[in-house]
Amino acid sequence: MAMTVHVDVVSAEEKIFSGLAEFVTLPGESGELGILPGHTPLISRIKPGTVALKLPNQEAPELVFVNGGILEVQPNLVTVLADTAIRGADLDEAKAAEAKRLAEEVMANQASGMDYARAQAELAEAIAQLAAIQKLRKVRG
């Protein structure tokens, strides 16, 4: 049996995942992070992107989209406290594409009342969601 670490992925709204994983990857503030059981303690901000959980006895990873947050790693526990978290299967490609289009439109038209920095953040989130959807498609084949 492979070594595992307990992982909790939670958002303000709900607990998205709680269970054992052999490996976790996620978008850290300074780049992609890979967490194995027994990892050195770590606290890091996370960027919008995909948390991939390699679960025991499951070939394809479990995917969760997060829109930033905090990662805490202890030797036997990984906690992802996400601003927003959405299970990969619950992502809506049409909604993400529309959000991307609207953010690009606002950024192109700086005369609008919307804050440019906010539009950039929304664009980054939409792009990350679309990338998560593409990753999910590849995993499912």
Helix pair 93-108, 116-140: axis angle to 10 deg: 150
Confidence band, pLDDT 50/70/90 cuts, at residue 88: confident
Q: How many CB atoms lie within 10 A of CB 16?
A: 21
26-36 pLDDT, tens digit per residue, is 999 989 999 99
Are the C-beta atoms of 118 and 103 separated by less than 8 Å?
A: no
Enter the DSSP assignment of 52: E
Structural domains of the chain, ranges and CATH numbers in brackets: 5-88 (2.60.15.10), 91-140 (1.20.5)
106-137 pLDDT, tens digit per residue, is 777 775 555 777 777 777 777 787 787 777 77
Q: How many CB atoms lie within 10 A of CB 135?
A: 17
Mean pLDDT score of the chain: 85
Q: What predicted TM-score, i.e. pTM, was given to this entire model?
A: 0.74
